[in-house]
Amino acid sequence: MLDVRRMQVLRAVISSGSITAAARNLGYTPSAISQQLSTLEREAGVELLERVGRGVRPTPAGSLLSEHAETLSTQLAKAEAALTELKEGRTGRLAIRYFATAGASLVPLAVAALRRDFPGVRLDLKLVEPDYSMPEIESGKADVAMIVLPSDAPRLKGVEYIHVLDDPYRAILPKNHRLARKRVLDLGELAEDPWVGVDGLPGACRDILLDACGAAGFAPNHVVESEDYQTAQGFVAAGLGVALIPELGLGAPHPGVAIRKVRRPDPVRSIHAAVAAHARDHPAVRRFLSAIREGAQAA
């Protein structure tokens, strides 16, 4: 098998016109260059150079290998440059999973920062319920996932959990509700009201709501369920019931609702970024996380 490095030595000798000149340019001794050429000729099974006066010139086989050496050198340089860019996080693929309210408020600015600072990185963005993205992190299919992480939730080994922000829940009331005049409500004051469900699927967000109501001494009477927070606000505005919605989920508040703080207890969901072990030190991942935190501070 032909050795690429020896082919590059051959090219240097042909380009400079002599073994002595090539040795000087490459920083080797003439004897070392001659040894490399002899080995290459044995590998090729044919003479590659012939002497002309004090110099050398290539045989047809030598010219052929020299041309290929130039092509290989160019490709090798491209490969080394591509590898460097990959190691420095400037190329490659980054898989990010996020849930709806994080996608609407936090992720867009972070993605814009990645596009600006790491334009060569291909992004795989997917909307996933916050409780369903961790299997992809655990399996290595995803690099980063935005999740809701209760304080008592188990932590996966090797996964880095980075706190982004605490997202408090707010009471959503019809404008003409008897408690709409109050600035802060005790959650127990809503015990007898009909409720609009906003987190129908089992998971961390629904657990936070039910646990808060349980701590206030009641179970909410859900009379209607909603698939998203904006629709839930519409149901509340129509007088169908009250609701608890996290602040990030409020978006553009419906004109027909009153939004009030709650206490005793004051439910909060803790939003984290879960980072897979293989992606922990990736520069693009670090930039995404810093942009997420910047967005959380501005939220």
Give the DSSP letter of residue 159: -
* 69 pLDDT more than 80: no
Find, among 245, 175, 260, the residue nearest to 205 by Cα. 245
Question: In which band, very low, low, confident or very high, does the pLDDT at 81 lie, cut at 50, 70 and 90?
Answer: low
| Stretch 54-74: mean pLDDT | 81
Find, among 53, 48, 42, the residue nearest to 2 by Cα. 42
- The residue ranking higher by pLDDT, 199 or 294, is 294
Distance CA 119, CA 139 (A): 26
* 82 pLDDT more than 90: no
3-state SS of the chain: helix, strand, coil percent to 5? 45, 25, 30
**Local structure of 187: helix, strand or coil:** helix
pLDDT 10s digits, 255-274 = 999 999 999 999 999 999 99
pLDDT 10s digits, 167-185 = 999 999 999 999 999 999 9
In the chain, alpha helices (H):
4-16, 19-26, 30-44, 60-87, 100-105, 107-117, 134-139, 204-215, 229-237, 283-298
Residue pair 26/12 in contact (Cβ under 8 Å)? The answer is yes
Distance CA 3, CA 8 (A): 9
Q: What is the pLDDT of residue 253?
A: 92
| Model confidence pTM above 0.75 | no
Distance CA 262, CA 203 (A): 22
**Local structure of 111: helix, strand or coil:** helix
Distance CA 233, CA 172 (A): 7
Give the DSSP letter of residue 154: P
Strands 194-197 and 268-275, sheet pairing: unpaired
Q: What percent of the chain has pLDDT over 90?
A: 48
Find, among 191, 188, 277, 173, the residue nearest to 232 by Cα. 173
Strands 243-246 and 160-174, sheet pairing: antiparallel
